[in-house]
Amino acid sequence: MSMRATVKSVLGEKNMRVLRRLKRRLSGKPVQVAKPTGLDAISNDLNKLAVHFKTDKWGAHRYTQHYQRHLQHLKNDSFNLLEIGIGGYNRPGQGGASLRMWKQFFPKAQIFGMDIQDKSFVDEERITTFIGDQSDPSSLNAVADKIGDLDVIIDDGSHRSPHVLTTFATLFPRLKDGGIYAVEDTQSSYWPEWMGSEDRESPNTSMGMLKRLTDGLNYEEFVDENYQPSYTDLNIVAVHFYHNLVIIEKGRNAEGTNKRSALKKRYAKS
């Protein structure tokens, strides 16, 4: 038996690899690192993952590029993500594409889905589904109670304005500080056939509600002394509008104002 073979039999293959890397490092040669293959090779790219898992968040829509920007900081964190709407309608065995995408992109996260249809065939390690009705606050709260902490909420449900408003009013207060809330397919807000309205100023549509949140960001600047800030005024720090997608950041909104010094005449008697 050669000396090399003797050393290998004593140290084992794993230790031999360590010795080879050390030898290359000492010789100044770059250490060869195996490139990831398969899903691992695209696990940092939400657009590519969306294509792989066949979710319309990329292709029919252009959402994943925005999710990448706003959720990248959670990439390797342990947290809970809830998506309303699992896809596939009532077709047997259809749906779950985006839940699988989220699982691959967030290797330490727990992924939850809620749908009015039974989608339990999607359940696997780190993916759990619930039957729930997003138009019913008691149903939404029952699902949230089972999950616990909510760090990311994505409304990809019915896209009907009354349902979007109910879901937001029920679940946003349960979202953790620092959390992200997303509303997809806001185009339906303008479609009467989808319980929206042709009136772009209608206060009762999903876009009407979401646009009001931007005023709330600046509630400290209002000169109406009788105005009482709402929960969303006090707990939203950013609202990002994209084509058919709105992303909301939750946090304490209390930066203060210089209105009394800027509007000295108005407040002279105060």
Catalytic residues: 159
Rounded Cα distance between 103 and 92, Å, is 22
Q: Is the distance from CB of 95 to CB of 166 less than 8 angstroms?
A: no
Rounded Cα distance between 147 and 110, Å, is 9
Question: In terms of C-beta distances under 8 Å and separation of at least 24 residues, what long-range contacts does 205-208 make, across chains too?
Answer: 205/161, 206/159, 206/161, 206/164, 206/165, 208/161
Rounded Cα distance between 220 and 223, Å, is 8
In 3D, which of 196, 179, 199, 178 has the Cα closest to residue 187? 196
Cα four-point dihedral sign 77, 79, 83, 86? positive
Upper half-sphere CA count for residue 37 (Cβ side, 13 Å) = 2
Determine the 3-state secondary structure of 58 from DSSP.
Answer: strand
Determine the 3-state secondary structure of 113 from DSSP.
Answer: strand
CB atoms within 10 A of CB 228: 7
Q: Is the distance from CB of 134 to CB of 171 less than 8 angstroms?
A: no
CB atoms within 10 A of CB 25: 11
